[in-house]
Amino acid sequence: MIWSSHSWRTLLSVALLSHLATALPAVEHATSAAANICNGRSEYCSRPYSEVTFVGSHDSAFVGELPQQNQNIDVTAQLNMGIRFLQAQTHHSLIDKNVLELCHTSCLLEDAGTLESYLRTIKTFLDANANEVVTLLLTNGDSVDITEFNEAFASSGIDRYAFVPSSNPLPLESWPTLGQMISQGTRLVVFLDYGANTAKVNYILDEFAYYFETPYDVTDSSFSGCSIDRPSGASPSGRMYIVNHFLDVDIFGVKVPDRTAASSTNAATGKGSIGAQAAVCQSLYNRTPNVVLLDFVDKGSAIQAQNALNGV
């Protein structure tokens, strides 16, 4: 039999359609299976973002053994151990005022590199881990215009993952579930403490429109309080909340992270633990914290405490 070119095209089309019909269910099954795990737990997929407790890394970029450094392991290692909320301080570079650096109070004291480099590190993690939602809280110590932050996010490429709320501020009951955020590809939530302007940059959200915070620079190892520190005079109603559960020690009038107490401070239970302070907070606000910020996240039982607070 002699096959015409039309016959060959018909045969190839039938074969291609047959292959797609066989392959599509497998692809659909793979997508469905992936959506069953969110931030490492199946239980989180159906839970709204505003009803999840995250243990977070306070001053996540300042890594080392010096007094002003708050973490022992770098950001990639923090993400790999399960931390999904990262806080960092930003300031203008002393060398180039067009560049944002991660600096502790002053770039003369501690400079952990550019914001863009930091964001690229987080993007690398998001690229490789499609079922993870990460939150970033930045401080704006130099009152930098929001467009400069946008430039760093765009240059790093991480803005493609940014979550944009349907209204602003988004009511607590209107947050999507982690599963929805993952399926929509909006897996990075960004907050800025001062200077946010969603009319200019719609994905960098005003921290204090969404959260209140407990006091920081705490030197009481029992962490017996959970009062509202910022924003001043705020009502807890309608806001998520951040518990600053990192212990400082006062050395000649200067407060520095208490590295030696980290294992007990970051314990899941016991006096002065994550669980103990969270219980105090829950008794005041009738809900668990949304974020518990820690120094030295690799010490103690941060992820165990997170699981307990989420009831998983």
Partnered with residue 243 across adjacent β-strands are 292
Rg (CA), the chain: 23
In the structure encoding, which two tokens stand for residue 123, read together?
């993007």
User: Is residue 104 annotated as a catalytic residue, yes or no?
Assistant: yes
Among residues 58, 91, 92, 245, which one is catalytic?
58
Cβ proximity of 215 and 244 under 8 Å: yes
What phi-psi label fits residue 66: left (phi over 0), alpha (psi between -120 and 50 degrees) or beta?
beta
Among residues 91, 92, 104, 245, which one is catalytic?
104
Rounded CA gap, 229 and 128, in Å?
37
Residues with catalytic roles? 58, 104
